[in-house]
Structure 1
Amino acid sequence: MQANEAVIGRWVECNFRKNIEKGFIVGFEKQTLRTLAKVAVPRLKKTIPFRIEALTDIEEVTLKPQDFDEMINMAIDMNDRQWFNELSFAKNALLNK
């Protein structure tokens, strides 16, 4: 994936511990030499940073702001404050584009 294609809410595939996982971009993390995409992987119930070029776009799925509501409710039900904060941030970022 090219850096200009990496946007919050985009669904991607990524290799994690020898498995191909599907997730969606919830934000970005700047490091000294590069920017990493923070990918929420629902199956693993965690957010993992990846090099943007290591991600593969799944074109048919891109989240809209209203899609975040159900996931925010899931984060509340699971008492997962970090995931709740990341989802809230991602939803607000999409609304303020």
Structure 2
Amino acid sequence: MTSAAYYPPGAGGTAGPGMASLAMETELQKLLADEKARAERHKINYQQLKVEHTKENRATIEETRIVKDKYLTMYEACKRDLAEKIAELEELKMK
């Protein structure tokens, strides 16, 4: 059995094993650089989205607190009004 050298697609095979190896290494370096650039873009995009979402979440929490305070104030006012009306009704029943 003779051992035949394997040449990936696009690497040729006529120029010899040294050239094919160099072409493959260059292609791998290009792929690695592309992947690193892609990962960096994803990282930057993630960081930007995280900042935006954090800002939006804080704004939503603040709005929720304001609305809650407003409705608690309204609830307390209605509770006082109801107590006054009940007292007034009891007073009228006594007469």
- Fold agreement, TM-score > 0.5: no
The structure carrying a bigger helix percent of its residues is 2
User: Bigger radius of gyration, 1 or 2?
Assistant: 2
TM-score band w.r.t. shorter chain:
under 0.3
Instruction: Return the structure number with greater strand share.
Output: 1
